[in-house]
Amino acid sequence: MIGRDLLGIEDLERSDIERILETAERMQEIGERQVKKVPTLRGRTIVNLFFEPSTRTRASFEIAGKRLSADVVNFSPGASSLSKAESILDTALTLDAMDPDVVIVRHKVAGVPKRLADSLRAPVVNAGDGAHEHPTQALLDMLTVKQEKGRIDGLTVTIIGDIAHSRVARSNIYGFSKMGAEVRVVGPPPMLPADVESLGVKAYISLREALEGADVVMALRIQLERVQGALFPSIREYAATFGLDRAKLRYAKDDAIVMHPGPVNRGVELSHDLADHRPSVILDQVRNGVALRMAVLYLIAGLAPGEESAP
Partner 1 sequence: MTRLLIRGGRVLDPAVDMDQLADVLLEDGVIRAVETGIEVRGAEVLDAAGCWVAPGFIDLHTHLREPGQEYKEDIASGGRAAVAGGFSAVACMANTDPVNDDPSVTDFILDRARQDSPARVHPVAAATKGLKGVVMTEMSALRDVGAVAFSDDGKTIMDTGVMRNVLEYSRLVNVPVIVHAEDRTLVGDGVVNEGPVSTRLGLPGNPAAAEDIHVARDLTLARLTGARLHVAHVSSAGAVLLIRRAREDGIQVTAEVTPHHLTLTDEATLGYDTNTKMAPPLRSRADVEACRAALAEGVIDAIATDHAPHAVHEKEVEFNEAPPGILGLETAFPVVLDLVRLGELEPLELMRRMSTAGARILGVSGGCLAVGQPGDVVVLDPEGRWTYDPAKGYSKSRNSPWAGQELTGRVIATVVGGNTVYHSDRGVLVG
Window of 74-82, 149-157, 243-251, 252-260 that interacts with partner 1 by CB under 8 A = 74-82
Quote the least distance from Cβ 162 to partner 1, whole Å: 12
Distance CA 57, CA 127 (A): 7
Per-residue contact flags (x/-) with partner 1 for residues 129 to 168, judged by CB under 8 A:
xxxxx------------------------------x--x-
For residues 195 and 75, give the distance between their C-alpha atoms in angstroms, rounded to a whole number.
37
**Between 174 and 298, CB nearer to partner 1:** 174
| Residue 223 touches partner 1, criterion: CB under 8 A | no
Quick check: 230 binds partner 1 (CB under 8 A)? no
Nearer to partner 1 by Cβ, of 67 and 107: the residue is 107
Cα separations in angstroms, 163 against 48, 171, 199: 26, 11, 12
Angle of CA points 61, 78, 83, to nearest 5°: 155
State yes or no: residue 98 binds partner 1 (CB under 8 A): no
Helix H or strand E encompassing 72: strand 71-75
Choose the stretch contacting partner 1; rule: CB under 8 A; options: 64-72, 77-85, 180-188, 212-220: 77-85
Give the x-and-dash track for 178-207 against partner 1 (CB under 8 A). ---------------xxxx-xx--------
Size of the residue set binding partner 1 (CB under 8 A)? 29
Distances in whole angstroms, Cα of residue 251 to Cα of each of 185, 213, 276: 15, 7, 20
The span from the CA of 45 to the CA of 61, in Å, is: 13
Are 46 and 67 in contact, with CB atoms under 8 Å apart? no
Rounded Cα distance between 47 and 67, Å, is: 15
> What's the min distance (Å) between Cβ of 170 and partner 1?
6
Catalog residues that contact partner 1 under the rule CB under 8 A. Answer: 10, 80-82, 87-90, 107, 109-112, 114-115, 129-133, 164, 167, 170, 193-196, 198-199
